[in-house]
A and B are shown apart, each in its own frame.
Chain A
Amino acid sequence: MEANIAVPTDKKDIWNGGGGKPFGASYGKMMMWYFILSDALTFSGFLAAYGLTRFKFIDTWPIADEVFTHVPFVHGDFPMIYVAIMTFILIFSSVTMVLAVDAGHQMKKNKVAWYMFATIIGGIIFVGSQAWEWNTFIKGSYGAVKTTEGKLLQFVKDGKQIALADFVIGNRTDGRVQHTKKNGLWFEEEGTIANYSVAQVIQAYNANPEIQVRTELIDLDKKQKTILSREAGAAMLARTDRVVEGANLEENEYGNTIFADAFFFITGFHGFHVVSGIAINIIIFFNVILGTYEKRGHYEMVEKVGLYWHFVDLVWVFVFTFFYLV
């Protein structure tokens, strides 16, 4: 009967207050692990939802290496290079983190501090890169037009995508003014209007016989987007009603609306984790410098934030694969 009585006997049921350590792990470390587990399930939910949406639009989904082709300070077409660099930065900051933990086991305060510092710098560079990536994505680089039923049409020359600015001449000519709260309905406003009108784009298309229209539809034999003939392209263009430049939550020049939504949501949620990871790392960094853990006699706190930081890296590995590679 005594086994059922809720009175502390051998102190195993008071966990951190007593000496009991289930699974040989301290309370903090175990709870960090279970937090990571639940967070991993949240991220899986997002990535699985991304997978569902992608399977739903499997014949029209944007091709990632046609979308993410830019590298800062360099002109030209470099698919995936920049994300790969970002991946390296994050993996490297994971290495400095694990080196900090390792130095902590040997009670080398200065080493721990320096490695923590390197980790924080790596994290900041990563978040900065992410911000640049978002900025490029939001601004867009080519521009497209959209039909009344929501199909997106891009323009190609010799099989390579070209920007509207490359073949549409001059500024917007139809005198369209951006609707703000000051010049229209006081309770409504619209975003930045496109640089060109649909009529201008169609006129430029008709004037340049070497330009063709590319639709979202993927040719499954070649795994490339379908390029229409000049006549079919003109017929499709006749059904367009707006020019799309860049990306937001409602439309984007890359293809399916939900592609950009998922991009913002998943990389944004990951970026938020990186930011909070940096904040926690900074706190722990100062604690290390102040000698908090030296006095405590162990650096387990560094190990626990390390777990979180590695987890952020782990998630990025999956985001990298499912967003950029597959």
Chain B
Amino acid sequence: MAHAHESNTKRIWIVFGILSFITIVEVYLGILKPAALHLQGMGTSWLNWIFIILTLAKAYGIAWVFMHLEGEKKWLRRTIVWSAVFLISYLVTLFLFEGSYIFDTLSPLVKW
């Protein structure tokens, strides 16, 4: 590690503040559910997009600062992050397409 012996305490608390703030925003929006964000959107509602982006931001904060990926060698970081990002996006894309296909096929058969 590059900064093995210097203290990062201040930075850790700042990141904690950011993560907490993001969580508060998420919960606030989740309870309030403003109609303009909740009922409209592209693909899914704007609110869901906000939640997903904020979650990725939190994940970045945890992985880069708390798990100290920022201090690792570039290619160690890439073996981890790229593997995860490519495989997970592939899996999620296929699964969600498949899920909506099943819905399109089966839901007309259910009478409410």
Contact = CB atoms under 8 A, between A and B. Distances in A.
Verify that A and B bind, or say they do not: yes
Interface of A: 23-25, 30, 33-34, 36-37, 40-41, 44-45, 48-49, 51-59, 65, 79-81, 84, 87-88, 91-92, 94-95, 97-99, 101-102, 105-106, 151, 215, 217, 221-223, 226, 303, 306-307, 310-311, 313-314, 317-318, 320-321, 324-326
Contacts of B63: 310, 314
Given A311-B67, A318-B55, A24 B103 contact: no
Interface in B68-93: 68, 72-73, 75-76, 79-80, 83-84, 87-88, 91-92
Contact of B80 (A37, A151, A222, A314): A37
A43 B79 CA distance: 18
Contacts of B92: 44, 48, 51
Given A91-B20, A105-B4, A80 B27 contact: yes
Give the most central of A58, A94, A98: most B CB within 10 Å. A98
Query: What's the interface size class on B, roughly?
Result: 35 or more
A249 to B, nearest CB: 21
29 contacts: A23-B75, A24-B72, A33-B76, A36-B80, A40-B84, A41-B84, A44-B84, A48-B91, A48-B92, A49-B95, A51-B95, A52-B98, A80-B27, A80-B31, A84-B27, A88-B20, A91-B19, A91-B20, A91-B23, A98-B66, A99-B12, A101-B68, A102-B7, A105-B7, A221-B39, A314-B63, A317-B62, A318-B59, A325-B26
Given A101-B68, A321-B52, 15 more contacts: A23-B76, A24-B72, A37-B80, A40-B84, A40-B88, A44-B84, A48-B91, A56-B103, A91-B23, A102-B12, A226-B112, A310-B63, A313-B66, A321-B51, A324-B30
A314 B112 CA distance: 39
Interface in B6-42: 6-9, 12-13, 16, 19-20, 23-24, 26-27, 30-31, 38-39
Contacts of A23: 72-73, 75-76, 79
Interface of B: 4-9, 12-13, 16, 19-20, 23-24, 26-27, 30-31, 38-39, 44-45, 48, 51-52, 55, 58-59, 62-63, 65-68, 72-73, 75-76, 79-80, 83-84, 87-88, 91-92, 95-96, 98-100, 102-103, 106-107, 112
Contact of B103 (A57, A79, A87, A151): A57
A279 to B, nearest CB: 20
A33 B102 CA distance: 36
